[in-house]
Amino acid sequence: MTAYLINHLRIPGGVPNEEGLSYLEQVEDTVTAHGGTYLAQGEVEVVEGAWPGSAVLIAFPSMTAARSWYTSPEYRGIRHLRVNNSINDLVFLEGVTPDFTVAGFAQQVRAAITSAGGSA
């Protein structure tokens, strides 16, 4: 199942420094080596709440592939260039199955609450 990396990215001063640019020049090869594909990158349009900075969205073929990329020697070798020069909230998120529906998810939650003795 597809897994996604979401990076909420803030660059102090708004412009990458030399180390940040070096990271950008090297990171894509590490991502593609693990089957990753960039889906989105850039400024976000905030419609609710606050989201200072920009975002990066990468798809991996699986959660295993995403974790393998993150822990790979190649990525670990450049990770410090990102961490030391930007502020990041980095998360992995597993995709949904083809038959997923939000209403179905709500029904599962209701059933779990009921079976735990609560009311839904």
Residues in the chain: 120
Across the chain, mean pLDDT equals 96
Phi, psi of 67 (to 5 degrees): -65, -40
Over residues 100-109, the pLDDT tens digits come to 999 999 999 9
Instruction: Show the domain range for 97.
Output: 3-115
Number of domains making up the chain = 1
Is 90 within the bounds of a domain?
yes
Check residue 120 and give its pLDDT. Answer: 62
Is 120 within the bounds of a domain?
no
Tell me the whole-structure pTM to 2 decimals: 0.89
CATH number at residue 105: 3.30.70.100
When pLDDT is averaged across residues 15-40 and rounded to a whole number, the result is: 97
Check residue 84 and give its pLDDT. Answer: 97
d(CA 97, CA 72): 27
Over residues 59-69, the pLDDT tens digits come to 999 999 999 99
At 46, list the tokens. 């905030």
Is 39 within the bounds of a domain?
yes
pLDDT of residue 12 exceeding 80, the answer is yes
